[in-house]
Homo-oligomer: A and B are copies of this chain.
């Protein structure tokens, strides 16, 4: 949308009145930098605003309603590869909630927290550690500076037994598009002791209305944290069996998860996905091509000693359970590859340091790269809820010559990558079907095939396809976009909708189900008739008035 000069000036004055100069970015350079994305697509807003509390949120919404200018809320906007802080349209107000970052309450006994949307994994983890609270916060595999609530509301995933981030929210305080501030759960607005302990509440369960949606801005939420288990271990599995055994492997893997032997929610990374983490892009192997052909990939894989599939995995429980689960896991998986048990290496004591040295030595002798060894400790820690930026730096591996050592911001720095993660039943038939449909598309568009099979539950996986491209090259950007669209089309065509939409695809996210979309349109029309709150997000948009 284009604001008239008058609206722009009036709105700017009002926003500054509410938030102060420090809370409003209106200059063209500022809004340009803040709306940068890793995906090929983005939109530049008129304003980026930073509320400090719920009443600021209400104030901004009030002005937005008055001027008819839409508000696109993000928590910290670090959903890199999905759209970051960019709205699905240009010219509106982008609301960044990162300054609302209070940890309001921790209940160690019941394993609950109440936090604001600006609270990050790193912040909560540090708070817990510094206060000696024996609870773990499950972290996304992306940056430690992402918002816990933001990721959960976008149905993001972690890797510990508390990997289901939306499922781990319990109790919300929400500002509705018309400014009402409600609390979900069905108990009294104040003085409701089970607000953060009982998810379903009394009466209809409305919390789901605020996930992947635009019906309200969550300004506080309850979160379940995992009590530190008595024992923990970690292993890396490398799949070395042939392709013909992959279906059996998936079935056995699933059975370990169904049984609770594996309570962790690992990501099964294909060769290229693993190489992105371990290495820089080997331009020397391109041979004049635009991408690494199968021969080049083979050379690279050999060079880095990377197998077809790799996953890391935590084990949790009493000492005896962890011992037992280790032995069952080893026995079950040894048919398909090798299992390196290395959990002890991250322990901060003499034994841990010794084990780490020995493990490095042994793995080095097995031919593992130094990068593999360097990834070990961050991985072990990630599976015990300690967030890390170690893995997310992979996104620099193609756009830049070197992964950054510290200070980094892939959106700002223009690293080109896109994620698309169709949801697939956890059965070899479905997983292979989609994989075989998508793989040729990468070849067609001249990219390397990237797949991480994210274990969602024993019943579903997310087949996360990644696209890395050079954002500075218009041709690569165009090809990346074309590949993205092809993957999306084929996934929808076969009934595998992505678990998460990007700024590019969000408006059409529900087009595959017009009847459901009509219900959601009804809800949006009832709660936000003038489309003030993030219109189009996940397909929800109020009907035009008759």
Q: Give me the interface of A with B, judged by CB distance under 8 Å.
A: 109-112, 155, 166-167, 170, 176, 180-189, 191-194, 196-213, 215, 224, 227, 229-230, 258-261, 263, 317-318, 320-321, 324, 328, 423-427, 430, 456-460, 492, 494-501, 509-510, 512-516, 518-520, 522-523, 525-527, 538-540
Contact = CB atoms under 8 A, between A and B. Distances in A.
Nearest to A261: B318
A180 B519 contact: yes
A460 B194 contact: yes
Contacts of A112: 459
A188 B523 contact: no
Given A499-B202, A501-B202, A512 B110 contact: no
Contact of A205 (B211, B458, B512, B539): B211
A203 B193 contact: no
Contact of A204 (B109, B167, B188, B215): B215
A459 B226 CA distance: 11
A86 B520 CA distance: 31
B208 A213 contact: no
Nearest to A518: B180
A183 B259 contact: no
A315 to B, nearest CB: 13
This protein's copies in its complex: 2
Given A189-B516, A516-B182, A197 B425 contact: yes
Main secondary structure of the interface of A (DSSP, over half): loop
A110 B427 contact: yes
Contact of A184 (B170, B198, B424, B516): B516
A515 B459 contact: no
Nearest to A192: B495
A187 to B, nearest CB: 5
Pairs A-B, 5 closest by C-beta atoms: A205-B208, A526-B526, A204-B213, A197-B459, A203-B538
Contacts of A512: 186-188
B496 A193 contact: yes
B155 A515 contact: no
A170 B456 CA distance: 14
A53 B510 CA distance: 27
B187 A497 contact: yes
B197 A460 contact: yes
A513 B227 contact: no
A425 B208 CA distance: 22
Contacts of A110: 425-427, 458-459
Q: Which of A204, A424, A540: most chain B CB closer than 10 A?
A: A204
Given A193-B424, A194-B424, A204-B540, 7 more contacts: A111-B458, A170-B459, A182-B518, A183-B516, A194-B495, A198-B499, A203-B538
Contact of A186 (B207, B513, B527): B513
A526 B527 CA distance: 9
A469 to B, nearest CB: 25
A192 B494 CA distance: 8
Contacts of A176: 519
Q: Which of A191, A227, A460: most chain B CB closer than 10 A?
A: A460
B527 A183 contact: no
